[in-house]
Structure 1
Amino acid sequence: MSDQSARAQVFPAYDPDEISSNTSGNRPFQQVAESFLSRRAALRGTTVAAAGFLVAGSALGGAAPAAAHGRGHGHGHGHHGGRGKGHGRRDLLGFEPVPASDADEFTVPPGYRTQVIIPWGTPLRPGGPAWKKDGSNTAAEQAEQIGMNHDGMHFFPLGWGRSCRRGLLVLNHEYTDAALLYPDGDAEMTADKVAKALAAHGVSVVEVERKWNGEWKQVRSRFARRVTGTTPVGFSGPVTLDHPALASGNEPMGTLNNCSHGVTPWGTYLACEENWNGYFGTEDPSWGPTPEQARYGVSATGFGYRWHLADPRFDVAVNGNELNRFGWIVEIDPHNPYAKPVKRTALGRFKHEGCTVTESRGRVVAYSGDDQSGDYIYKFVGEGSWRAHRARRRSPLDHGTLYVARFNDDGSGEWLPLVFGEGPLTAANGWQDQADVLLRTREAADALGATPMDRPEWVSVNPKNKDVYCALTNGSGGNAANPRTPNPYGHIIRWAEKNGDNTATTFTWDIFLLSGDPAYDSSVTLDEDSLHGSPDGLHFDRDGRLWIMTDVSNSTQNRADRGHDNIGNNQLLAADPKTGEVRRFLTGPRGCEITGAVITDDGRTMFVNVQHPGEATAVFGEPTPENPRAVSNWPDFDPDGRPRSATVVISRTDGGVIGA
């Protein structure tokens, strides 16, 4: 048996997010989806289907699902009948698809160029502490450098006329990899190592500018800033700092495991705390999680960070309330480097994958997925005009109603309000007040009968018609909206709010795309130019292209025994929402996730993040302090260096619109 084969057998079988902590018994989305699809199949081809039953499809982009038009399963497809000719939409997907790849390289279509900027360890300001390729930068130095594992990101234009030549890049740093962060790994955990890891988490704000030759450069800026795991933070909304559940052994500080993000109409950035539970643990054998803690996946071992060995802040037996300070949406003003980040508690406490904000009838609407198998999709609807709140110097995110989604077999759905005193959320049922509902958001959603989903990831709103799309990366399935049991490849669901109003409390839904490989799953209709697994990030550009970022787990990536040998490394694809056409736009290096894609307002520059290149994979190996380059050496390819997360700038050589 080869070393690689042996490694594949001992490599962790699943990501923690793939294991559900939901014991509510609510009807899961897979069962709903199975019923929905069987109903649709029974009606397919009849006048009833064409005229009435597929109303969800007619509301979504102006066309019924693909099955009603005889285009396969109605789950999206990769067929395009020649480059740019398949559906008369040449302008939307006008690039040559790149092939799937397992190479340690970053590949884009012909006619495009790339540039790597702000990799992990880049000084935040000119003259700041330089990157040390042996991983020996101190915690203090790391706090003045770009953080590790770039994730969600936004470009805020600066200058006259919202220039697309200069702006602020604001990006999350989701987590740290001890094998690459420290020169000697983490066999021994120390206070200095915890401090460095905390400094590598959080958010970076940097100013970038496009020079005369088309290259982008980081420039000196008064806005440059790091928000880390120890930055002082505030709390606002129903759960205030004087709440007993937030009483802890230290001042409120830090944000951890920020995955995706959001952007408000008033120009602030929303960082989203996802797998915060994994940072806590204890050696106390008498400790056990409460039901609330268990529902959030808190355990004595966490995700193996072992910070609790050196810092009591993360010992759940010593400082248990510190848990309650995480799992929130964090608002950051990128234009005010002195403003304290604020955790907006009205948006609920769970594993926020992201927070996509749109506007309807003058009110803010914020969508967020809870990224764990069997958890839910949420929506916050602001109370009244957000401009009126701002005029009174109140946050629009502190005033409104949080809802959770229920998907029905017939393609309908409703938003269930998470409001104390309504439905089962009463004092008689053990709920104390609205703050209690928000602190225990998952349990409140359980009580309302929300639909468990296959790991809800990024949400994106189509600018052309306000339809909403959500990536479900993988999971155990179990209802109509999650139709595979299990679901190793994931899918994308979409819905249309009633009357196109994102504040509505009812909607119609359909499955936009089933990801995967038809060689292993006959329900998949993708071809070699569009094969992919585990859709994660979603981003609509100004022209209505849906950009799909993938995050196939390194325990699964490129493995034939898990049906991923044809899919290759993680990638970015583009889809036409009206036709279902999908094309692969780029592939990333080994061990990475593709994330954070955002396009400037003129459509001519894309920024995309390559997260965790070179991390341990079942196929290619595992980095060690002696050989951190075992899996990847991207982007530096330094024989004495190590892989680094980085932002890649993509543009067309002819200066045209990305994707067209």
Structure 2
Amino acid sequence: RWIEIDNSDPEKMLNFKEQAVAAGATMYNRIEWVAVDPATGLIYWTETGRDAPGSAWADEEAAGATHDPYHIQRAIDKGWGTPNSSDYRDYYGRIWVYDPATNYNTVLIEGGPDWDEETSPAEADYFSKHLSNPDGLNVMSIDGQSFLVICEDLNGRSYGRVPAGVSNNTCELWLLDLSIETPTADDLIRISAVPAGAEVTGAIATSDGKSLLVNSQHPSSSNPFPFNHSLTYAIHGFDQITVTDLDDPQFGESEGLELFPNPATRTVYFNRATDLAIYNAQGQRLKVFRNVTQVDVSGLPAGAYFLQSADGETKKLVVK
């Protein structure tokens, strides 16, 4: 429930958390950004999550705070008893939607998919999409349709947040079509990833709707230049696409290897999982991938390359 704090009393404003807890406010697990969809008036907000919030929640409940019914039911469904339990886990967080007309919060999309083992799946077996610890949030219009812009800030690398063996947090930037009534991770549209170790610290569309400005902060200092620096970058062309242009690639019935897009600037998608190698025009093998449905080619200089699958099929790829 919402608790109004007396903002005419400076002492209460300096200690507003204690005031809210004592008055019975509802607790969540790391609330971060808030975004309003101007088309509907609905208010979206991120609950970033942290691995084991139980002890902190127990202390605050003892001081007067309450749990959202969602977390109470989630604890029961998972077999953890109550949200205050030391067993309660919240590795991925979630995004909520608040409707001012009903004064009610509901979960829009859960982070995940869940992975119950501390060691994440190998890259070859990793999820095609995984939402971990949503933080920054905004709403932008594309082709007249409202989309959430979701920025990740990973709390860790275990339990499926990144593939096994990845030594740095890898955060991604997603779009979510707000016309989808009960979205899941499969409905997310990946539009960018930041350098290893960095957090996506915010994204906002320009007023003309043509571009999205993105902040990337505190990457790993061991990254090669310039990927060891924070930066703000722009993604252009949103005024030139339709909603259907954002759909996952659709391939034909061919049994042979197909790739999309070609030319490419970052991610290349395949019509099936495959082992493959990338060669330059001189025949030098540059990279090898196992059981992948997509590869990131953003680290390759612009030019022509050749992809060879495990069964010997070869495709030409142009990197821009």
Task: Bin the TM-score by the shorter chain.
Answer: 0.5 to 0.7
Distance 2:40 2:89 in 1: 32
Residue equivalent to 1:595: 201
Residue equivalent to 2:178: 577
| Cα deviations by residue, 1:31-60 (Å, 9 ceiling, x for unpaired) | xxxxxxxxxxxxxxxxxxxxxxxxxxxxxx
Distance 1:657 1:441 in 2: 45
Change (3 A) 1:547 1:455: same
Residue equivalent to 1:493: 96
Contact 1:529 1:583 in 2 (8 A): no
Residue equivalent to 2:162: 565
Distance 2:111 2:10 in 1: 38
Residue equivalent to 1:512: 108
Distance 2:241 2:196 in 1: 29
1:654 Cα deviation (Å)? 8.8
Q: Secondary structure at the match of 1:442?
A: helix
1:479 Cα deviation (Å)? 4.1
| Cα deviations by residue, 1:481-516 (Å, 9 ceiling, x for unpaired) | 444522111011111012xxxxxxx60221111102
Q: Establish whether residue 550 from structure 1 lines up as the match of residue 146 from structure 2.
A: no
1:480 Cα deviation (Å)? 2.4
Residue equivalent to 1:541: 140
Contact 1:516 1:532 in 2 (8 A): yes
Distance 2:190 2:137 in 1: 14
Which structure is richer in relative contact order (CA contacts within 8 A, separation 6 or more)? 1
Residue equivalent to 2:64: none
Residue equivalent to 1:647: 232
Residue equivalent to 2:224: 633
**Rg larger in structure:** 1
Task: Pick one of 112, 124, 129 that aligns with 1:530.
Answer: 129
Change (3 A) 1:653 1:513: closer
| Cα deviations by residue, 1:52-72 (Å, 9 ceiling, x for unpaired) | xxxxxxxxxxxxxxxxxxxxx
Task: Pick one of 32, 35, 43 that aligns with 1:457.
Answer: 32
Q: Secondary structure at the match of 2:26?
A: coil
Same amino acid, percent of matched pairs: 27
What runs of 5+ residues in structure 1 fail to find an aligned partner? Answer: 1-405, 407-414, 421-432, 499-505, 522-526, 615-628, 638-642
Contact 2:209 2:239 in 1 (8 A): no
Pairs within 5 Å for 1:393-412: 406=1
Q: Name the TM-score, length of structure 2 as normaliser.
A: 0.55
Q: Secondary structure at the match of 2:10?
A: helix
Contact 2:149 2:173 in 1 (8 A): yes
Instruction: Figure out how many residues of one structure are paired with residues of the other and give that number.
Output: 197
1:656 Cα deviation (Å)? 4.4
Change (3 A) 1:611 1:657: farther
Change (3 A) 1:589 1:446: same
2:33 partner letter: W
Q: Secondary structure at the match of 1:458?
A: strand
1:418 Cα deviation (Å)? 1.3
Pairs within 5 Å for 1:396-475: 406=1, 415-419=2-6, 434-475=9-50
Contact 1:606 1:649 in 2 (8 A): yes
2:196 partner letter: R
Distance 1:416 1:532 in 2: 30
Contact 1:603 1:657 in 2 (8 A): no
* Aligned residues: CA RMSD: 2.8
The structure with more helix, counted as a fraction of residues: 1
| Cα deviations by residue, 1:555-593 (Å, 9 ceiling, x for unpaired) | x23x4xx33234971000111123123222211111000
Change (3 A) 1:564 1:610: same
Residue equivalent to 1:480: 69
| Cα deviations by residue, 1:320-348 (Å, 9 ceiling, x for unpaired) | xxxxxxxxxxxxxxxxxxxxxxxxxxxxx
1:436 Cα deviation (Å)? 1.8
The structure with more strand, counted as a fraction of residues: 2
